[in-house]
């Protein structure tokens, strides 16, 4: 996790450096300086980093506890029946194959067929399955779902998704205020003086934050869809392509029955079965038919 944080931090500053060079080449830095925007960036940057990256990192560190609380999932500490014993043994075997520490395994009381993985690191994670999944899937299908979630952990998807969200949050905070200040000065304070903030600044900042927030969300969802294909491929490697495809077909039957996703909002992106969005760009998961087709052509998606 620490290495990923360093890489994302360096990426963050590299992007800022590239933008600075482009602004200088295009002469935009002089326009910003004349309108007092450069001074705003200096003041905003530490706050943006604290709120943008800090919020995502705190959410990541608390993800297991919050997931257990929101779903009321029960961690299996001592198996009380054969199903729980089999779940622990299956996840333990898959974790060893994937080269990660044994995650906590939990069951939550949900009617839908779903499962999710979360946690702050590859060796401190949680895999949870719904009672509906255990009741409606056979062992091979459940095994594939567990393999899919273990692959998410092995790929570091929770960490990467949180850090991407943090980087994007930082840029949304910075650029919404830069845009707000520039538009406020150009439209409402045509004297070019940089002192103070007008009413236009707050209105333009809110508008820019909403628009940039939508763009940031689209980027996060694009990565979320990509990682689902990778986790499906990893699940196929840990179980088999046929088992993974059959599990997705079972989820497809649930989708065709128009059963709603019952996972809490903050866990939708981490479930094997996610809610659709307003158009493809806002979907956390690719369409199931595309995931099944990718598995049928498994050789092309194998890592």
In whole angstroms, give the CA distance from residue 233 to residue 17. Answer: 36
Residue 67 vs residues 43, 45, 73, 106, 216: alpha-carbon distances, Å? 35, 31, 8, 11, 24
In whole angstroms, give the CA distance from residue 272 to residue 114. Answer: 6
Give the contacts of 90 (CB within 8 A, at least 6 positions apart): 142, 143, 146
Angle at which helices 82-98 and 199-238 pack, to 10 degrees?
Answer: 100
**Residue count of the chain:** 303
The DSSP H or E segment spanning 112 is none
200: nearest Cα among 220, 185, 219, 214: 185
Annotation marks residue 228 as catalytic: no
The DSSP H or E segment spanning 135 is helix 131-136
Contact 167, 154 (CB under 8 A): no
The DSSP H or E segment spanning 105 is strand 104-108
| Identified catalytic residue from 141, 143, 149, 228 | 149
Ramachandran class of 109: left when φ > 0, alpha when ψ lies in -120 to 50, beta otherwise? beta
DSSP state of 269: G
Q: CA neighbours within 13 Å on the CB side: how many for 297?
A: 8
Catalytic positions = 149
């Amino acid at each position: 996790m620490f290495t990923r944080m360093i890489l994302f931090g360096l990426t963050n500053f590299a992007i800022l450096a590239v933008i600075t060079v482009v602004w200088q080449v295009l002469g935009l830095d002089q326009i910003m300086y004349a309108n007092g925007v450069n001074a705003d960036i200096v003041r905003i940057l530490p706050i943006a980093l604290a709120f943008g990256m800090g919020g995502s990192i705190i959410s990541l560190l608390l993800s297991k506890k919050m997931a257990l609380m929101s779903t009321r999932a029960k961690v299996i500490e001592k198996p009380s029946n054969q199903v729980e014993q089999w779940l622990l043994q299956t996840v333990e075997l898959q974790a060893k194959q994937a080269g990660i520490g044994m995650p906590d395994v939990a069951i939550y009381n949900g009617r839908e067929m779903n499962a999710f993985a979360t946690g702050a690191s590859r060796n401190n994670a949680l895999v949870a399955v719904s009672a509906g999944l255990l009741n409606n899937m056979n062992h091979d299908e459940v095994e594939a779902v567990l393999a899919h979630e273990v692959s998410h952990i092995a790929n570091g998807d929770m960490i990467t998704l949180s850090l991407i969200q943090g980087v994007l949050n930082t840029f949304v905070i910075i650029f919404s205020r830069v845009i707000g200040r520039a538009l406020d000065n150009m439209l409402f304070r045509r004297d070019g003086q940089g002192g103070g903030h007008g009413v236009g600044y707050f209105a333009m900042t809110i508008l820019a934050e909403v628009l940039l927030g939508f763009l940031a969300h689209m980027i996060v969802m694009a990565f979320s869809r990509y990682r689902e294909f990778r986790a499906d491929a990893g699940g196929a490697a840990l179980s088999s392509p046929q088992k993974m495809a059959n599990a997705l077909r079972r989820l497809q039957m649930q989708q065709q029955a128009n059963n709603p996703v019952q996972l809490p909002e903050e866990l939708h992106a981490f479930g094997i079965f996610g809610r659709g969005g307003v158009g493809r760009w806002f979907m956390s998961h690719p369409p199931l038919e595309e995931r099944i087709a990718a598995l049928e052509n498994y050789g092309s998606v194998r890592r």
